[in-house]
Amino acid sequence: MIVRSEEHADHGAIRAVHTALFPTVGEARLVDALRAAGHLCVSLVAEEQREVVGHVAFSRVSVLGAIDGVGLAPVAVLAAFRQRGIAEQLIREGLALCKRSSHGFVVVLGDPHYYRRFGFMPASGWGLCDQYGAGDGPRTERGLD
């Protein structure tokens, strides 16, 4: 299994992964829209025998109107390839690339139990909230230094 940056030829496979694994096409469309808008900072695929089996995206986010961080979403791995650390490798390599690109922080909306292993902490600890009133429980933020 290799993890590498997405290429143009991967776009259809990435769309197929998210369409298959999320209840709606929302995530697949989100990735397409972020890419089209030039907001995808990091987009990595996991490839097994030339097949895209997983994907993670990081895109620009703004705080008080200033773009200074990135958001992690979505991440998905085909069911047959789960529990092998593929998502973990996608996320760790993505975070390393974000850090190298000098993005100041990463936010993620997800399960605290899963994301804590990458260093994410509750957003409230950083004085962060969002315009949608999402609760603090599932919302986490991670500093990059």
Position 88 contacts ligand COA (CB under 6 A): yes
Q: Which of 87, 98, 106, 123 binds ligand COA (CB under 6 A)?
A: 87
Number of C-alpha atoms within 13 angstroms, CB side, residue 112? 10
- Minimum CB separation of residue 28 from ligand COA in Å reads 12
Stretch that binds ligand COA, among 59-67, 82-90, 92-100, 130-138 (CB under 6 A): 82-90
Judged by beta carbon, residue 66 or residue 72, the one nearer ligand COA is 72
- Rule CB under 6 A: say whether 118 interacts with ligand COA: no
Q: Answer left, alpha or beta for residue 141, where phi above 0 means left and psi between -120 and 50 means alpha.
A: beta
Q: Which helix (H) or strand (E) holds 15?
A: helix 11-21
Residue in 52, 61, 76, 95 binding ligand COA, rule: CB under 6 A:
76
Sign of CA dihedral 111, 129, 64, 30: positive
Query: For residues 145 and 47, what is the distance between their CA atoms, to the nearest angstrom?
Result: 29
Which ranges of 22-108 would DSSP assign to H, the alpha helix? 26-36, 86-100
Q: Is 85 in the site for ligand COA (CB under 6 A)?
A: yes
Nearer residue to ligand COA within complex by CB, 1 or 66: 1
Q: Which residues of this chain interact with ligand COA, rule CB under 6 A?
A: 21-22, 73-77, 82-88, 110-111, 114
